[in-house]
Structure 1
Amino acid sequence: MTFADAKVVADGDRWTLILIRELPRPPAEVWLALVDPARLDRWAPFSADRSLSDTGPATLTMVDGDERTALPAVVHRAEPPRLLEYTWGEDLLRWELEPSGTGTRLTLRHTLADRDLDAMVAAGWHLCADVLQRLLAGEAVRAIRGRDAMNHGWPELRDRYAARFAGS
């Protein structure tokens, strides 16, 4: 699977990575995968201490094998099933869901403080979105996180995204 579109745009003194993926399930199902801690834990790079369907503080914990790194988060907007926006550490993530045929067009706008991370972050979200796609199709899958991503093509994806973003 690939992102239908992937680019990096200047956003003041920060950079926004924009990734678009077509998913074959309706927005309401995709929404649940974005906000429900049990579902997030099956595809995202982090676990959540609570549902992200309500605004307010949360903790998103990066998972890398046995290592855990808790980062503060704040859900700023939760408008089911079309918009979810939260901070994660110093980053801002905005998930936009639009009906697309019988499925959903999912747009992630991940605002980064450091442009040098764009290809690495894109490769990580690419793998996560692949898992999400399979999860939504009903497959028994598990998240690809941290060092485990190296065994699932992350270095090659990072290099492809770096080449793609080089002219941005």
Structure 2
Amino acid sequence: MTGSTDDVRGVLTRRPDGVEVRFERWYATTVDDLWEAVTAPARVARWLGPLYVDPRVGGRYELRMGEDVPDADENATGEVLVCEPPRALAVTWVFPDETVTRVDVALRPDGDGTRLLLRHTGLADASARGYGGGWHACLDQLDDHLAGRPVRSWDALYAAATPAYADVRTDVTGPA
């Protein structure tokens, strides 16, 4: 998976505003390269799907994780809330038939690589487990892309990862 001995699993935590899915992953690349891999449409298309974005605060995006068709059921859309290259990105996340949630990505140098922190907040209990497995699969695909390996099937990675996300812990301290 990653170039580190870190546990690559995410954590689901119940907070007052919904469930948070949180991942911390280490990648054997520079901050600038990882930023490009998660924000540049040509790079994102190699491991996740076509991305159409106006990369500025207030800009809109559409991430097409199925077919490259506008407004499809597999597309996430939203607004760019934070864009501070190459360190921080936050967007609203709108997925068909779900409430609006938020995704934050932070990057920081860590030894001879870069640590990525991904937080998806405001999730409903019913969808949190799926997002745990889904983000796990996506971050594994990102690792494949960064390592120059063929990117594995999202469906297979999701099926393997999702059972690890059965438990949601309750945070008694409040939002992170």
2:135 pairs with 1:125: yes
Shift of 1:27: 0.8
Instruction: State the shift of 1:71 in Å.
Output: 4.2
Q: How far is the alpha carbon of 1:156 from its aligned partner?
A: 3.2
Match of 2:144 in 1: 134
Deviation string 1:88-140 (CA, Å, 9 cap, x unpaired) is 21121000111111111101000133122222111111111111112112234
Unpaired runs of 5+ residues, structure 2, are: 95-99, 171-176
TM-score by length of 2: 0.77
Computed over aligned residues only, the root mean square deviation of the Cα atoms, in angstroms, reads: 2.3
**1:139 to 1:9, Cα distance in 2 relative to 1, 3 A:** same
Moved >4 Å (runs of 4+): none
Following superposition, the deviation at residue 38 of structure 1 comes to 1.0
Any conservation in 2 of the 1:35–1:51 contact (CA below 8 Å)? Answer: no
Tell me the residue number matched to 1:40.
44
Q: 2:59 aligns with which of 57, 60, 80?
A: 57
TM-superposed CA distance for 1:5, in Å, is 5.2
Say if 2:51 and 2:64, in contact at 8 Å, map to a contact too: no
Using the size of structure 1 for normalisation, the TM-score is: 0.81
Name the aligned partner's letter for residue 18 of structure 2: R
**Native 8 Å contact 1:48 1:58 kept in 2:** no
**Identical amino acids, percent of aligned pairs:** 28
Question: Kindly tell me: are residues 61 and 82 of structure 1, through their superposed partners in 2, closer, same or farther at Cα, counting changes over 3 Å?
Answer: closer
State the aligned residue count.
Answer: 158
Q: In 1, distance between residues paired with 2:38 and 2:110?
A: 18
Query: Measured at CA, do residues 51 and 40 of structure 1 come closer, stay the same or move farther in structure 2, by a change above 3 Å?
Result: farther
